[in-house]
Structures are given as C-alpha cells and as structure tokens.
A and B are shown apart, each in its own frame.
Chain A
Amino acid sequence: MGLINKESVKKKMGSRIAANGFAKFLFILATCFSLLVLGVLIYRILTEGLPYLSLDFITNFASRMPERAGIWAALLGTIWIMAVTAPVSFILGVGTAIYLEEYAKKNAFTKFVQINISNLAGVPSIVFGLLGLTIFVRLAGLGSSVLAGGLTMSLLILPVIVVASQEAIRTVPREIREASFGMGATKWQTIRRIVFPAALPGILTGTILALSRAVGETAPLLVLGALAYVAFVPENLFSQFTVLPIQLYNWTSRPQEEFHMLAASGIIILMIILLIMNSIAVFIRNKFHKRF
C-alpha cells in the first residue's frame, strides 16, 4: 500500500484525458483529408465527364473527332483480357495456395518460396510487362494478342491471389479438418469437401479485388504493345486489343480539351466497373461469411 501516490495520479488525469481527445481528433482529421481528396476527384470527373456520357459513347469506336469517339473497343478489350486473366489466375493461384498450405512441408525451401511470393506482390507492374513481353509475346510467339495480355495480367495478380487464398485456407479451423480425417476421409476429400468450400468466400473476395486491380492496370499492357487506337473489337484470343486505361491515357495525352472530357467520361465507366466488382466481393464476403 502507498506505492501509488493518489495525488499525482489525480494531477495527471487531466492531461491523459486531453491526450485521449487529441488522438481521436488526429484520426478524424486523417480520414477527412482522404475523403476530401476523393470528393474533389469525383466532383471534377463528374462535371467534366457527364456531358459526354451517352449510349453512343459506350457503343462507338475511338475516333479523331471527339463528338463521335467512344470506348466500345476498349471496353470489350478489357472484358476479353479479364476473361483470360480470371480463370488462369484463379486456377493457378488457388492451386498454389492449396499446395503451400496443405501439402508442402514447412521447411526452409517453402519459407523461401513464401517470402518470394509476398515480395512478388509488391513488384512494379511494368516489370511484369517486360516479363510478359519476353515470354509470351516473343518466346511463345503470341504477339501483342489478347492471350499474351491476359496471361501477363494473370502473372501480375497471381501473388495477390495466392496470398489471399492462403489466408482464407488458414482460417479454416483445425477441428473440422480433424473431424473429417477422423472419419476416414483422405486428404483430398478433406480439402475438396471441407477446406475448399469453407475457404471459398475468402478466396473469391481476394480474387475479385485482385482482378479489379488488373482492370485498372496500364503499364504492363503498354509494354506488351497493346494498341492505343483500335477501331475493331477482338474476335479471338489472338486478336490485337486495347483496354480502358490505355484508351484513357491516350485521350488525356492529347492537346484538345474535348478529349480530356472524353477521358473523364471513360473514367466514370471504369469506376462503375470497379465499383460493381468490389460490391460483388463485399456481397460474397457478407453472404457466405462463416462463423467458426
């Protein structure tokens, strides 16, 4: 008793409470700053882009005349690229994650692989562009095609999908795996019927978020030789293509004011696509959220 001086505790009380309030204020300030920037951005894009936004803008090809220009080729190009990227990255990513989590022995080598996967997630996208150019465009002779672009994008988002899937698989409790093994299930049956379904919501959320990153990427496809001016839609996997961000980049780099407006309209479309994809991710997460 008497080790604590009640008087000094009382004296310090005021400054502790003040610091508490100050901390709260700081965090609100940080949030407001980001919200403000986002608000300004959205306001600017909407005021510039809305006047040009119409059905024609979506269904027209790019043109030298701003009033006739549209994003049809870029929009379909983006969809084609996603159609290649989504299945390839999902299958490879989830497969890798299942191997690393369920089968691989925890030794120095797998640890090394693990660290490298995490590092790859942070490698600049242009590096993946160069990799794709070397392997898919030149070595495999695919040219600047939808297939080459989609595969390059798959490589880009693969590490993110692997890490997200691993996290999801790790949240499946040991108890329910044991229950499955305890009934004589094989490892594969346990993975297929218990672990994978339980981890799927987390895996899908991670995959969709990674895909929406790919939708917005420009650099790797520029390196691959995606075209900036395209007046046709891709017909098959070996067609040339452009995507939305490249089209937008092309428009913003032109001197005429009207093209800047067009770019703003394109950004609205791109943001709507991203918003839809992220909403799907949130929906899946909430709907299939598992309580263990």
Chain B
Amino acid sequence: MSSRLLNQIGLFFAALVIVSPAILFFLWMISLSLKFEIDNGAYPPILIPERFAWSNYVKVFEENNFLLYLWNSVLVTGTATLLALLIGVPAGYGIARLKAERSAIVIMIARMTPGLSYLIPLFLLFQWIGILGTLWPQIIIHLVVTVPIVVWVMIGYFETTPMELEEAANIDGASSWQVFRLVALPIAKPGIVVAFILSVIFSWNNFVFGVVLASRETRTLPVAVYNMLSYEQVSWGPLAAAALVVTLPVLVLTMFAQKQIVAGLTAGAVKGG
C-alpha cells in the first residue's frame, strides 16, 4: 500500500515537472502585465511586485483602440464560424451518409497547404472586387480555417450516430431535409459544440491573414497586439497586458470546454491518417 502511495507521489511530481514550463510561462505573463516599468526592468527580476500596475490594462484599451479591435475579432471569428457551421454541418452529414469519406482528402490537402498560398490569390481577388478595407476579406479567408474544421469534426460525428432512426423516418415518408433537420441534427448537438469551439479558437488565433489583409480600422486582436510592438518597444507592462487580453478568451474557453476540445482534436487527429 505504501509503495503505491509513493508511486502516486512520484507520478505527481513527474507531472508537475513536465507541466511547469506552462505554469511558469503564464505566471510570468501575468506578472509582466501587472508591473510598472521600473519593476519590469529590475534585476534580479521580480515575480510579485509591491504595487500592481492595473493601469497597464487601462492603457491598452485607452491608447490602442483595443475595443475596436476586440469588436473586429468578434465579428470576424463569429461570422466565419457561423457561416462554417451553416454549410459545414450539412456537408459533414452528406459526406458521412454518402460514405464519401475519401472526398475528405481535399480537406486534408487543405490542411497541408500553407495559409500564405491562399493569401496571394485571394488578396488579388479582394482588391479586384474592391472590398479591401472592409472586414469581408478577413471573414471570407477565415473560412479557409473554419470550414475544414467543421466538416472534419462533423463527418466523424455523423459516422458514429445510429442510422436506424433516420431509416425509420425515411420509410415514414420524411424528406431528406426533414430527416436531417428533425432526426440527425438534434442528436449531433455535442458534435456541433466541438466543431464550434475548435473553429472559434483557430479563427481567433489566426494572425497571418490579418497581417496582410487588415487596414488600420479592420485589425483583429492578434494583429493589433503585434502592431503595438513597433510603437511601444520599451513598455513591457502594457504589451504583456495586451497579449493577455488577446489570449484570455481562448484560455477561458479551453478551461471550461477541455473535454470537448480533447475529444475533437484527438478524433480529428486519429482520422487524420
């Protein structure tokens, strides 16, 4: 019994060691964001300052238009995710029922393609249509990220839902659309939640599309925080505070929806071959 206890304590400490880079990083990020410049420049470094610089967070929103960029991020991620769900959930259903899983190879190749190779042609296209300067180019190009995620997760999900109910409804004379809407969709809710969460996270985190397509008014948060670098090379406090503001929504989502994220990522990964 005592050797089992020792074993457990050993494992706990091994886990602690391997998790420590993550813990230390986020602690230091919070610490940087709550220190005045004097404390951030101190040697040896200070983890917990005597005075907390809450003003760093105020500065981020007052001086850098962060409310606008936050709103842009919400609009781009929200619209790109909703559009992806709207077309991706039925598509996942169709592909699963047609047993055309092999057509999902397009999605795999899409995953292999570097984001930049979508950017050049679509940039030209957006310029030609004349929508650069609005949020639409970013919303449309974020579909490159969100649609494959949703379709991928939903194919996997609809493959596991039982066919019997759908067949019964079919025999009773329900149309394909009615079967999907009234039988398949309600069962698939957990899958849709997984697809939604993953789509939101990867769209929110996206940087490369914004850095090319966003103008001063249409920046999303990752681009905005990157742009702060050039203006505030020395002020680490506000910079760290901004970085935390950008990533906090995603981290909170990760903590509350850990189970779904793990399920979605590993299912997708296992299907990845």
- Physical interaction between A and B: no
Interface residues of B (CB under 8 A from A): none
Interface residues of A (CB under 8 A from B): none
